[in-house]
Amino acid sequence: MQYINLLYILSTVLLIIGLRRMSSPASAAKGNLIAAAGMGLATIVAMFDPIAGDQGNYAWIIVALAIGTVVGLVFSKKVAMTAIPELVSLFNGFGGACAVAISIIEVYKFGETSSIGARATTYMALFIGGVAFTGSLIAYGKLSGKVKDWKSGISSYFNLIWLALCLGLIIYEVVAMGQIEYLPMAILVVSLIYGFTFVLPIGGADMPVVISLLNAFTGIAAALAGIVYSNMVMLLGGILVGSSGTILTVLMCNAMNRSLINVIIGGFGSSAATAGAGPEGDVKEATANDTAIMMRYATNVMIIPGYGMAVAQAQKACKELDKSLTERGVNVNYAIHPVAGRMPGHMNVLLAEADVPYNKLIDMDDANNMFGDTDVCLVVGANDVVNPSALDDPSSPIYGMPVLEILKSKNVVVLKRSMNKGYSGIENPLFFHERTKMLFGDAKATIETLNNEVKSMD
């Protein structure tokens, strides 16, 4: 058994290959399985690897593994595809909680001889894991509608002070060598509170960025714990997630033309409040019948899905309408904004679930080149990603963000439940534009009506 730790090398290789394969559509599913195999192997090695002070306790470990496996499988099978972002956030919180659990035990094991470096590492794992834990819970709550956006003018100052408090206590504890018995617990509590107050003021629309960032935090916490246990798989796996999560976060921020700092301090929420009166004007309502006729006799139709499509579960109805129109010679495509929905790629997953072919999903840049030849743009529950203020209104909080330029097309029909503002709370002049018609109602029901109208025209 003494050489079993060599298998750690194999599991590290599996994790890297898995992550690499996951980054291309053709090999992604296999990559996930390879990474899962790497994780399974690492877990088995961790159980039998010869370690100092081994006490066994296998009953505890096996029962815990069994419970976690069953709960994890049930969660993942039961969840609706629309709820995936919040589930990922919840899972991430659990990983952070595990980092918290092990580091709080480890800090109480420190003796006189523990080095400053080891202490600092463990406390940072505790702090970062704690922020990932409670922050993810808040992100979960916001995405599932259980926690409302809340922001006050002093949030960012409070957070800065609180962050300084967390780090100050950690530095004091590390240098003071555990003189105060309850200080580790105090650090645990202030870290958990920081996770709450860090995410609470960030607008719900920015949750994808936050989840990605917190995912990176969990990875960093795991890597720090890997140093504590001198375990290379934890270290490498953790850093891989930490760095890839960070770069993914930056990519998402770029897609919204915002900096990470701006997201964290809160751009949308605060500036939208001061934006004052938005555009006013007449809204033109369309009827399902008009819209159906327009689409039936169009050459090119572009569907622009947004989070509203996910909420209304309208993806299958969309696919049916697409099918009816395609059978009648209409060319139907889908324009996908990189941050439509609640996670990047959220719309792709939903439409893939509804059997929409991969080649009909058009990226933003290609779509913007195609709108000139598009007869009808059907906006299904998207708002901020089609807001023309981003192009021409420098006073708008989202000015400069790349959006789908659907006003280049001949006709725009917006399916919307009501005239409420979008997730970011910003007015959308698109709705008042002369070429835009609004079709109010539940997206799924409306699309089904449109489909019936199209079919009845033969």
Residues 6+ apart with CB under 8 A from 394: none
Closest by CA to 132, choosing from 278, 44, 238, 54, is: 238
Q: Nearest approach, Cβ of 130 to another protein (angstroms)?
A: 13
Residues 6+ apart with CB under 8 A from 173: 119, 123, 180, 183, 184, 187
Q: Nearest approach, Cβ of 272 to another protein (angstroms)?
A: 26
- Tracing tokens 């309408």 back to the chain, one arrives at 321
> Reading across the β-sheet that carries 331-336, which strands appear in turn?
361-363, 331-336, 300-305, 376-380, 411-416, 436-440
- Dihedral of alpha carbons 14, 19, 23, 26, sign: positive
Residues 6+ apart with CB under 8 A from 179: none
Residues 6+ apart with CB under 8 A from 181: none
* Of residues 122 and 446, the one with the C-beta less far from another protein: 122
Q: Nearest approach, Cβ of 10 to another protein (angstroms)?
A: 14
Are 251 and 396 a contacting pair, CB within 8 Å?
no
Q: Which residues pair with 413 in a beta bridge?
A: 378, 437
The DSSP code for 152 is -
Alpha-carbon dihedral 320, 349, 308, 362, rounded to 10 degrees: -80
Q: Nearest approach, Cβ of 362 to another protein (angstroms)?
A: 11
From residue 10 to residue 49, the character string flagging contacts with another protein as x (rule: CB under 8 A) and all else as - is -----xx-xxx-xxxxx-xx-xxx-xx--x--xx--xx--
- Of 49, 322, 375, 384, which residue is the catalytic one? 384
* Of residues 96 and 388, the one with the C-beta less far from another protein: 96
Amino acid 155 reads: S
Restricting to residues 106-125, name those near another protein by CB under 8 A: 106, 115-118, 120
192 binds another protein (CB under 8 A): no
415 binds another protein (CB under 8 A): no
* Of residues 108 and 297, the one with the C-beta less far from another protein: 108
Are 401 and 388 a contacting pair, CB within 8 Å?
no
171 binds another protein (CB under 8 A): no
* Of residues 125 and 317, the one with the C-beta less far from another protein: 125
From residue 250 to residue 279, the character string flagging contacts with another protein as x (rule: CB under 8 A) and all else as - is -xx--x------------------------
Q: Which residue from 6, 9, 69, 186 is in contact with another protein, where contact means CB under 8 A?
A: 69
DSSP H helices, 108-206, are: 116-143, 155-176, 183-199
Q: Nearest approach, Cβ of 119 to another protein (angstroms)?
A: 10
Q: What secondary structure does DSSP assign to 98-112, as a single string? A: HHHHHHHHHHTT--T
Residues in the chain: 458
137 binds another protein (CB under 8 A): no
Restricting to residues 80-99, name those near another protein by CB under 8 A: 81, 84-85, 87-88, 91-92, 94-95, 97-99
Q: Which residue from 1, 2, 3, 60 is in contact with another protein, where contact means CB under 8 A?
A: 60
384 is catalytic: yes
Kindly determine how many residues on this chain lie close enough to bind another protein according to the rule CB under 8 A: 116
Q: Nearest approach, Cβ of 184 to another protein (angstroms)?
A: 13
The angle subtended at Cα 345 by Cα 424 and Cα 72, nearest 5°, is 100
Amino acid 320 reads: E
Q: Nearest approach, Cβ of 346 to another protein (angstroms)?
A: 6
Q: Which residue from 1, 2, 3, 53 is in contact with another protein, where contact means CB under 8 A?
A: 53
Q: Which residue from 187, 227, 294, 413 is in contact with another protein, where contact means CB under 8 A?
A: 227
The angle subtended at Cα 194 by Cα 193 and Cα 195, nearest 5°, is 90
56 binds another protein (CB under 8 A): yes
* Of residues 77 and 148, the one with the C-beta less far from another protein: 77
Q: Nearest approach, Cβ of 244 to another protein (angstroms)?
A: 4
Restricting to residues 289-348, name those near another protein by CB under 8 A: 336, 338, 343-346, 348
189 binds another protein (CB under 8 A): no
Q: Which residue from 63, 177, 180, 185 is in contact with another protein, where contact means CB under 8 A?
A: 63
Q: Nearest approach, Cβ of 39 to another protein (angstroms)?
A: 5
Restricting to residues 359-378, name those near another protein by CB under 8 A: 361, 363
* Of residues 118 and 265, the one with the C-beta less far from another protein: 118
For the stretch 83-104, what's the b/e string if a residue is b when 16 or more beta carbons lie within 10 angstroms of its beta carbon? bbbbbbbbbbbbbbbbbbebbb
Catalytic residue set = 384
